Structure 1
């Protein structure tokens, strides 16, 4: 009886710590999600071509996100581990080199966008007005990709110190600004003309710039005390860069195969018609709110687990993983219920087209049953990353996205004629496959990469 009471108290105590870290991350994710949601909502009032153009473009930009996020993941893991081991100087050096890597990759992707924006959209099946609109939007938001990369990496560095509140505050402020600018630039206000999809792109770039400036200011006042004029931010260190790439490479691969697969199956969906793709995009913009909870809890798991492993507290790390998984399943199941019962009403917020509303309802009601499965995938991916094991999620994501989801979308959605229902069933099958494998590996204690394999030399200061 005493042991049961002790376990309950331990579970409650651990849950409080997790939620204290996760809540700001969830709020931050919520406001980040608002950017895409507001763009889709406002542009749906302009036309479905605009929604489709932004949807196709964002599918490509998510590939960029995959790379930038992987740098942030690596920085987050290393900084949290070094803090757990009280190696603060190493943590600062990792942060500095992460900033250098973010700037370099951001510039490379900006140049890539300038050269290949239109050809890529053509490969995805865009043509006519959708291609024209998509190319303009793509160029405006992605040529300054350095802003995107710095947003991801600076936020991750700050979260790695255990501060999840600062990125949340920045996210709140820039998203309030984004909503205001989006409305003004898309529809026009006073002397500012209506610019439609171009206005949405300009608003997005402005808020990203503001976000980078705010995050850099906070980082200078954090325990790492990194300044923009610090020469160590702009001088590459081969040892640290190799460690970041070793840790972040699989995380990038995991997101990259997911996003490239998404680009491919988006091409299949658009074959079902512009209206069906628009319905899928709108349903995805609604469903993505569930991700904010999963990613928020995964962020807390990554930070806490990395800290425990840095302090050689492996049992506590496993307990955190179990607790976060249970919490996420519970919360996202409730959210799934909401999606199921209010699916049609949510669709009506975006369009009056009855066929599009029907497709949105079908997609969201199928997605309602995916939510608890998605919870396992999102959180355990964060758990594995906190344990330094970034390769396994990459392997199973590759199989899930390219074999199960992409093939499933084509077979169920197109060949068998299930339409949007087939698309979302395929998404559910992919998530179920990955959830099963992640949980199986986690339950067998095969999720941690120990010091010989994680790229970190414990208690060894990195050379300058």
Structure 2
């Protein structure tokens, strides 16, 4: 099997699943936009917190997939089984913690962003409901990662499709029939994820008699999960600070930025799908002692990811005004959305590099390097440059997105150079 086929066999189902998960957010944003700009701004701000949770679960899932794939490459079934159950246990514990934070401290966290009172109220309601039920998103993410590592990526994809169809149906009923607004959309999201979780659990057919939990904890898993989750946390927490900068430009720009980010999420789906495949294939090659394959896998992953991302981003850019018009007819919000779409398109090659080389390091079992790169890139380059360009120099939202491209450029170069040096040592 060629490298391209190997990558695409894993990447395409993961890509479709990522798109389906993002569609859930698009459906929510579209339906909430029918309520008004305050509502869509509120959900946007709350989703920046939810996205932090989701990013942590994605990092956890990638770490689990990496270690499960490596143990499968080593043909160690006992270790594979232990990694599966440890992953589920960690997901449940982490989800319960994040759910409590959403319920008990969500409004206090949102108040720190300095949004208008009406936007904060809308945000806190959505965060309490969706964040309080975050367990089901966590379990769906982990179950999907386990299935992909076992070579069953289409099963998780099919369940995501079912969950999204349910979410669209239930959310539409909540808004148009029952007029429940934000609460109805949030409730539909949680319920559809609960149903998806139950279907995946049944499909996995795990024998509870085989439960093996590492005591006191799985050091190998934690050594990979903690820096990987820390990297995502630094990224998403930084995004919240960026939103605090964007808030300075007004509610209309916040809404336009939210709409633009909702649309450009599709630009990154091919890269995220290929990155998922890269983690698994690199880890499997490492476990099978086929280290000579890693270089060709990584190179192929980058070019496949970049090509697909440019195609999708080009389509979003071409139809940007029409797509934005589905959400709002406010001219300032439309202009802000197009700024996001433009810079997302221009930055795709370096964003692709950041995604693929982050995945490569995770597959190699060395998640600390992306953590260092993201921490510096986000908190030193993106935030400071975003504030300086956007506010101090008066470039507005364009300044914030120029800083975003600079951050991704730095991380791509840093991770690539360190990777080349590392490969000479193994």
Calculate the TM-score normalised by the size of structure 1: 0.88
Partner of 1:232: 211
Cα contact 2:59–2:225 (8 A) shared by 1: yes
SS in 1 for 2:395: coil
Distance, in Å, in 1 between the alignment partners of 2:425 and 2:135 is 31
Cα contact 1:94–1:240 (8 A) shared by 2: no
Q: Offset of 1:240 from its aligned partner?
A: 4.9
Partner of 2:251: 274
Counterpart selection for 1:362 from 339, 345, 349: 339
Distance, in Å, in 2 between the alignment partners of 1:322 and 1:405 is 27
Bigger Rg, which one: 1
The one-character-per-residue Cα deviations of 1:68-119 (angstroms, maximum 9, x if unpaired) are 2332222111110011111122101110111111111111122222210110
- Verify: 1:429 aligned to 2:410, yes or no: no
SS in 1 for 2:174: helix
The 1:33–1:449 alpha-carbon spacing in structure 2 relative to 1, beyond 3 Å, is farther
The 1:231–1:301 alpha-carbon spacing in structure 2 relative to 1, beyond 3 Å, is closer
Distance, in Å, in 1 between the alignment partners of 2:346 and 2:359 is 22
Cα contact 1:404–1:429 (8 A) shared by 2: yes
Distance, in Å, in 1 between the alignment partners of 2:154 and 2:287 is 22
Partner of 1:183: 172
Distance, in Å, in 2 between the alignment partners of 1:68 and 1:355 is 35
Partner of 2:113: 124
Counterpart selection for 1:340 from 314, 317, 322: 317
Q: What are the ranges of 5 or more consecutive residues in structure 2 without an aligned counterpart? A: none
- Verify: 1:206 aligned to 2:182, yes or no: no
Matches within 5 A, 1:249-268: 249-268=226-245
Q: What are the ranges of 5 or more consecutive residues in structure 1 without an aligned counterpart? A: 1-9, 221-225, 451-464
Partner of 2:129: 140
Matches within 5 A, 1:51-450: 51-188=40-177, 193-220=178-205, 226-227=206-207, 229-230=208-209, 232=211, 236-238=213-215, 240-442=217-419, 444-446=420-422
Cα contact 1:75–1:244 (8 A) shared by 2: yes
Q: Offset of 1:261 from its aligned partner?
A: 0.7
Calculate the TM-score normalised by the size of structure 2: 0.96
Distance, in Å, in 2 between the alignment partners of 1:315 and 1:41 is 47
Report which stretch shifted further, 362-371 or 200-209: 362-371
Distance, in Å, in 2 between the alignment partners of 1:258 and 1:328 is 21
Distance, in Å, in 1 between the alignment partners of 2:21 and 2:198 is 16
Partner of 1:6: none
Distance, in Å, in 2 between the alignment partners of 1:447 and 1:260 is 31
The one-character-per-residue Cα deviations of 1:222-275 (angstroms, maximum 9, x if unpaired) are xxxx24x44726xx4226532221111110110000011111111111111011
Distance, in Å, in 2 between the alignment partners of 1:153 and 1:437 is 29
SS in 2 for 1:271: helix
Distance, in Å, in 1 between the alignment partners of 2:210 and 2:179 is 43
Distance, in Å, in 2 between the alignment partners of 1:340 and 1:118 is 35
Distance, in Å, in 2 between the alignment partners of 1:230 and 1:203 is 34
Distance, in Å, in 2 between the alignment partners of 1:55 and 1:41 is 11
RMSD of aligned Cα (Å) = 1.7
The one-character-per-residue Cα deviations of 1:121-157 (angstroms, maximum 9, x if unpaired) are 1011133211111111111111122222212211111
Report which stretch shifted further, 414-423 or 255-264: 414-423
Q: Offset of 1:336 from its aligned partner?
A: 2.9
Q: Offset of 1:28 from its aligned partner?
A: 0.6
The 1:447–1:153 alpha-carbon spacing in structure 2 relative to 1, beyond 3 Å, is farther
The 1:340–1:113 alpha-carbon spacing in structure 2 relative to 1, beyond 3 Å, is closer
SS in 1 for 2:115: coil
The 1:350–1:448 alpha-carbon spacing in structure 2 relative to 1, beyond 3 Å, is farther
SS in 2 for 1:396: helix
Deviation beyond 4 Å, 4+ runs, structure 1:
447-450
